[in-house]
Amino acid sequence: MNKLDTNYKNTWCPGCGNFGILVAFKNAIKDEDPNNIAIVSGIGCHAKIVDYINVNSFYSLHGRALPAAEGIKLANPDLKVIAFTGDGDSLDEGISHLIHAAKRNSDITVVLHNNRLFALTTGQFTAVSVEGFKGKSTPTGAPESPINPLELLLASNATFISRSYSGNIKHLEETLKRAIAHKGFSIVEVLEPCVSFFNTTEFYNNKTYVLDDANLDSREEALKKIREWNYEENGEKVPLGVFYEVSKLPFYERVLTNKKEETVEDILKELI
Amino acid sequence: MKDFTILVGGQAGQGSRKAGLVIAKILNSLGYRIFIYDDYQSLIRGGHSFSKIRVSDKKVEGQSEELDYIIALDKETIDKHLDSLKDSGTVLFNADRIEFKKGLGIKSETIAKEEGGSSIMANTVMISAFAKTIGVDFELLKNVFQKEFKKGLDINLKIAERVYVEVIEKTKIEKLENKILPLITGNEALALGSVEAGLDMYYAYPMTPATSILHFLAGRKLGVETIQLENEIAVIIAALGSAYAGKRTMIGTSGGGFALMTEGLSFGVMAEIPVVIVNSQRTGPATGVPTYSGQSDLNFVLNAGHGDLVKFTVAPSNADECYEWGGRILNLAWKYQTPAVVLIDKEISESTFNLDINSKIEQENNSLWNQEGEYRRYEITENGISPLAFPGNGVVVKTTSYEHDQNGLTAEESEEEITAMQEKRLRKFEAMQEEVDNMEDAIKIFGNKDSKNVLITFGSSTGPAIEAAEKFDLKVVQIVVLEPFPVIQVTEAVGDASLIVCVEQNALGQLASLLAKNGIEAEELILKYSSRVIQKGEIEDLLKEIL
């Protein structure tokens, strides 16, 4: 048994994209000291990953993976904190936390399992579902069009923006390593099929391609790459890779500034 | 007994609060005991703000309805408060803005400008005029100014000196032999108590009347990290994350923010993560009357969180108790690895009291893992308390909002495992109840301890209830710990009572409901729910009808 395995019974559907993420992540951290890693999840199919990996973990509430990850990092900046989240988790329920974590440049890595629907609740549309998605809550088709989460993150001043695919484990592993090494907020959006409710395996196998690193510090270039595919059902090309990377002081270095220079006794004397 | 009240009022932005505080500091340094109530509206400029400074030779913890002095920076102050002035009372007013036939009118803005100051320094004119009227030595006034005016001290002193010479002394205030005590708000005292118990981090989203805890800790260098986040949900979840990683955390809000935190509170119980939540109440429901007080969150706080859960809830009533419980509750939260709530309100949070500390608060040990054998975060134990370790300690620490096994992995299949974990928590709840059962000061008794007529109260209703009870020689029972309920102590305290009256500031009689749930029936209720704090006189009037 791999030392990173818990041996907990895996309950993902056969063929689920999450298996690719699990393998790639374990590979990505195999040279790290597991004692210095804390992983966090929200609630959803993605979140089961914390039960399968034998490292420190915080299985949070639905939509609330990111504030937990930020709180852990602020309490102990020596830890590498990775938050797993889903599209329902962080683009619907907890989208405000995603925007603010990026804006603050919290030094956490966000792995966004994007299967583009609520799966664990048996298939309803999320913020990134295709327009007209037919689920049990929208039998005649979802009446909304999807947002582009990476465009949102660029606008929110994220300092590392990337996309990978659960079917390209090597690329995913390398991207995760780079994201974890990035000092500040990093996002790896992982496109993944939901084999039970929205099977996009063939689409992603055919349409995804890896972009080489270029002009990583240019917002304009990043926006072009991000907009090449807008989450429509019949996109021509879906780019993978690191789209944007800039260096900026992480949140913990800016906010953890309170030194103990006075005592309660001093203050009480002053208040006389 | 010497007991008089000064009201200083003006528009928001005219500095009436500062003037009130400086006057209070002058009288405090003469050995008087002080209580300051600050009244303001939900606006930044204009409106009507005032401070009521109650001054006494013995400790006071509540307002007085009648006024001995009115210091008016604007006309509205006189219009609104003249009815409360005693016949023997005095009005000092800003003659630049007010025409009034009695009392002492001073062109305070004109004087401030003539001495090179700005019109806001009219408040300095009024402070000095009042000090001279009651016969305070100028040296004392100067000493207080030196502490209170960090900016513009020279100009303020120049203004004060001119006014002091021009105004006539009417009486000579006596200096008392009391020990001089610090002047502090309930929020500040709560923050300091928690610091003594090892507070590491304070998270918040701004919400009146809890905001000044954040401001106070952020403005001081006590080694407490203060972090403002995007909403109250993020606040409680981040606090749980930090506590999981080993840091003592506290968060603060009012009713609406507390409502947003309740899913996180339930999570804290399930995951057994300590966090102290301050709910400083204002009048509800919803946005309610945001800058005024109330006690209508009691039911909600006691029942907050889905699932089977017990937490600690305490309700301090003044700065001394805020200091004490700010520390004790943090220690209890960590001892039992549980969320805990401090329930206060605007009257306690933002009023200024003399702090008289009787007990030393210190950080107590956590229930830490002894580093022997295999580590299991949720190990089944006799008292339900499992050993605590943190990420980075060399063992794997798994925590979760799901029901779980002893290792912190999701438990869904085994009914036995699920039952065992629920029962572990139940044993912990019993241990928490036992802790309260053994706490002599979970309730406090005042007044005539032999009286068969008993007032039961909590929080900010306590001070006025004690004062009102004096007149009728009644017994007063203050419930300090609300959850787990100190049923043994309360039952004993009211055992031979012939009449029980609940005094509380909400419309439904929520404390009476809590008592009834614990087998104690209140015959009468004295309720106030106008958003303004209940006054001693109001309680007295109703007691006349009841008794």
Q: What are the extents of the domains in chain A?
A: 18-270
> What percent of chain B has a predicted confidence (pLDDT) above 70?
100
What is the pLDDT, as a whole number, of residue A1?
53
Lay out the sheet containing B475-479: strands in order across.
B443-447, B475-479, B453-457, B499-504, B524-527
**H or E element, residue B46:** strand B46-56
Q: Flag whether residue B240 sits within 8 Å of chain A, measured between CB atoms.
A: yes
Buried b (16+ CB within 10 A) or exposed e, B171-200: eebeebeeeebbbbbbbbbbbbbbbbbbbb
Cβ A14 vs Cβ A195: under 8 Å: yes
Is the predicted pLDDT of residue B500 greater than 70, yes or no? yes
- B362 neighbourhood in chain A, CB within 8 Å: none
CB contact (8 A) between residue A271 and residue B355:
yes
Q: Answer for the pair B441, B324: CB distance below 8 angstroms, yes or no.
A: no
The DSSP call for residue A194 is B
- pLDDT, residue B152, reads 92
Residue B362's closest chain A neighbor by CA?
Answer: A264
User: A74, B196: Cβ pair inside 8 Å?
Assistant: no
| Residue B245 forms contact with A (CB below 8 Å) | yes
Question: Is the predicted pLDDT of residue B1 greater than 70, yes or no?
Answer: no
Are B233 and A64 an interchain contact pair (Cβ–Cβ within 8 Å)?
yes
pLDDT digits (tens, 9 = 90+) for B72-95: 999 999 999 999 999 999 999 999
Among positive and negative, which fits the CA dihedral B353, B358, B362, B366?
negative
Separation of alpha carbons B385 and B382, rounded Å: 8
DSSP B308-330: S---EEE---SHHHHHHHHHHHH
Of all helices (H) and strands (E), which one includes residue B469? helix B462-472
Average pLDDT, stretch B519-529?
97
Q: Residue A269 and residue B200: Cβ atoms within 8 Å?
A: no
pLDDT digits (tens, 9 = 90+) for B346-364: 999 999 999 999 888 999 9
Identify which of B398, B420, B427, B425 has the alpha carbon closest to the alpha carbon of residue B410: B398
Partners of A8 on chain B (C-beta within 8 Å) are 409-410
User: B480 near B441, Cβ under 8 Å?
Assistant: yes
CA–CA–CA angle B256, B260, B266 (5° rounding): 130
Task: Report d(CA B250, CA B202) in Å as an integer.
Answer: 5
B396 shares contact with chain A (CB less than 8 Å): yes
Region of B305 please: left (phi>0), alpha (psi -120 to 50) or beta.
left
Quick one: closest CA in B to A93, which residue? B233
Residues of chain A in contact with residue B244, where contact means CB-CB under 8 angstroms, are 58, 68, 71-72, 75
Distance CA B360, CA B514 (A): 31
Nearest CA in chain B to A7: B409
Q: How far apart are CA B316 and CA A128, in angstroms?
A: 48
**Residue B146 forms contact with A (CB below 8 Å):** no
B233 part of contact set with chain A, CB < 8 Å = yes
Confidence of residue B164 (pLDDT cuts 50, 70, 90): very high
Between chains, do A50 and B400 touch, taking CB under 8 Å as contact?
Answer: yes
Instruction: Let me know: does B266 contact B275? Beta carbons within 8 Å.
Output: no
Task: Compute the distance between CA of residue B467 and CA of residue B314 in angstroms, rounded to an integer.
Answer: 22
pLDDT in tens, B7-23: 999 998 899 999 999 99
CA dist., res. A239 & res. A111, Å (int): 17
Are B237 and A67 inside 8 Å of each other by CB? yes
Q: Does B390 sit within 8 Å of A74, measured CB to CB?
A: no
**Angle value at C-alpha B488, between B484 and B491, nearest 5 degrees:** 115
Q: Which CATH superfamily is domain A18-270 in?
A: Thiamin diphosphate (ThDP)-binding fold, Pyr/PP domains (3.40.50.970)
Q: Is the pLDDT of residue B69 over 80?
A: yes
Phi-psi region of B79 (alpha: psi -120 to 50; beta: other; left: phi over 0): alpha
| Interatomic CA distance for residues B510 and A143, integer angstroms | 46
Q: What percentage of chain B exceeds 90 in pLDDT?
A: 95
Which of A4, A56, A261 to probe the B interface (max B CBs under 10 A)? A56
Q: Mean pLDDT across chain B, nearest whole number?
A: 96
CB B289 within 8 A of CB B282: yes
Integer Cα distance of B482 and B326 in angstroms: 15
Q: Which of B220, B241, B396 sits opposite A58 (nearest CB)?
A: B241
Query: B213 to each of A88, A181, B228, B229, B332, how far by Cα in Å?
Result: 35, 37, 12, 15, 20
Assess contact for B89 and B29: CB atoms under 8 A: no
Q: Biggest alpha carbon distance in chain A?
A: 75
**Amino acid at residue number B91:** V
Chain A's closest residue to B34, CA to CA, is A272
**Partner-chain residue, chosen from A6, A64, A262, that has the shortest CB–CB distance to B220:** A262
Using the Cβ of B226 and the Cβ atoms of chain A, whether some distance falls under 8 Å is answered with: yes
Is-contact B493 B312, C-beta < 8 A?
Answer: no
Q: What percent of chain A has pLDDT over 70?
A: 100
Name the CATH code of domain B183-354 (choices 3.10.20.30, 1.10.10.10, 3.40.50.970, 3.30.70.1400). 3.40.50.970
Find out whether A92 and A119 touch, Cβ atoms under 8 Å: no
CA distances, B382 to each of B1, B184, B204, B426, B427 (Å)? 55, 43, 36, 11, 7
Best of B29, B236, B359, B398 to disrupt the A interface (most A CBs within 10 Å) is: B398
* Domain B3-166 CATH assignment equals 3.40.920.10: yes
Average pLDDT over residues B386-409: 97
The answer to whether B33 and B178 have CB atoms below 8 angstroms apart is yes
Closest partner residue to A51 (CB to CB) among B181, B239, B410 is: B410
Residue A86 has what pLDDT?
98
Alpha helix ranges (H) inside B184-292: 186-196, 211-219, 232-244, 255-271
Look at residue B161 and give its three-state secondary structure. Answer: helix
Q: What is the mean pLDDT of residues B506-534?
A: 97
Q: Report yes or no: B529 at the A interface, CB cutoff 8 Å.
A: no
pLDDT in tens, chain A (272 residues): 578 999 999 999 999 999 999 999 999 999 999 999 999 999 999 999 999 999 999 999 999 999 999 999 999 999 999 999 999 999 999 999 999 999 999 999 999 999 999 999 999 999 999 999 999 999 999 999 999 999 999 999 999 999 999 999 999 999 999 999 999 999 999 999 999 999 999 999 999 999 999 999 999 999 999 999 999 988 899 999 999 999 999 999 999 999 999 999 999 999 99
Helix (H) or strand (E) holding A254: helix A251-255
- Per-residue pLDDT, B46: 81
DSSP character for B209? T
Q: A-chain residues within 8 Å CB-CB of B32?
A: none
Contact between residue A205 and residue A168 where contact means Cβ atoms under 8 Å apart: no
Which chain B positions have a beta carbon within 8 Å of A258's beta carbon? 218, 221-226
Q: Which residues contact B502 (CB under 8 A, 6 or more apart)?
A: B455, B456, B457, B509, B511, B512, B515, B522, B524, B525, B526
* Domain range summary for chain B, segments of one domain joined by +: 3-166, 183-354, 367-438, 441-546
Closest alpha carbon within chain B to A266: B222
Give dist(CA B168, CA B122) in Å, integer. 18
Domains B3-166 and B441-546 share a fold: no
- Pick from B314, B300, B209, B316: nearest CA to B261: B300
Measured N-to-C along each axis, helices B232-244 and B255-271 cross at an angle, to the nearest 10 degrees, of 30
List the CATH code of the domain at B441-546: 3.40.50.920
Between CA B341 and CA B308 the distance in angstroms is 17
A138-177 pLDDT, tens per residue?
999 999 999 999 999 999 999 999 999 999 999 999 999 9
Going by C-beta distance under 8 Å and a sequence separation of 6 or more, which residues neighbour residue A120?
A43, A44, A45
pLDDT, tens digit, 9 for 90 and up, residues A180-190: 999 999 999 99
DSSP state of B388: B
Q: Backbone phi, then psi, for A227, in 5-degree steps?
A: -85, -5
**pLDDT value of position B501:** 98
Length, in residues, of chain B:
547
- Residue B394 forms contact with A (CB below 8 Å): yes
Would you say residue B366 has pLDDT above 90? Answer: no
Nearest-angstrom CA–CA distance, A193 and B190: 52
Taking CA–CA distances from B184, the nearest residue in chain A reads A271
Beta strand B3-12 with B46-56: parallel, antiparallel or unpaired? antiparallel
pTM above 0.90, yes or no: yes
Q: Are A108 and A79 in contact (CB under 8 A)?
A: no
| B220 touches A at CB < 8 Å | yes
Residue B433, sorted as left (phi over 0), alpha (psi -120 to 50) or beta, turns out to be alpha
The pLDDT tens digits for B418-473 are 999 999 999 999 999 999 999 999 999 999 999 999 999 999 999 999 999 999 99
How far is residue B412 from each of residues A11, A260, B218, B270, B419, measured CA to CA in Å?
12, 46, 43, 15, 11
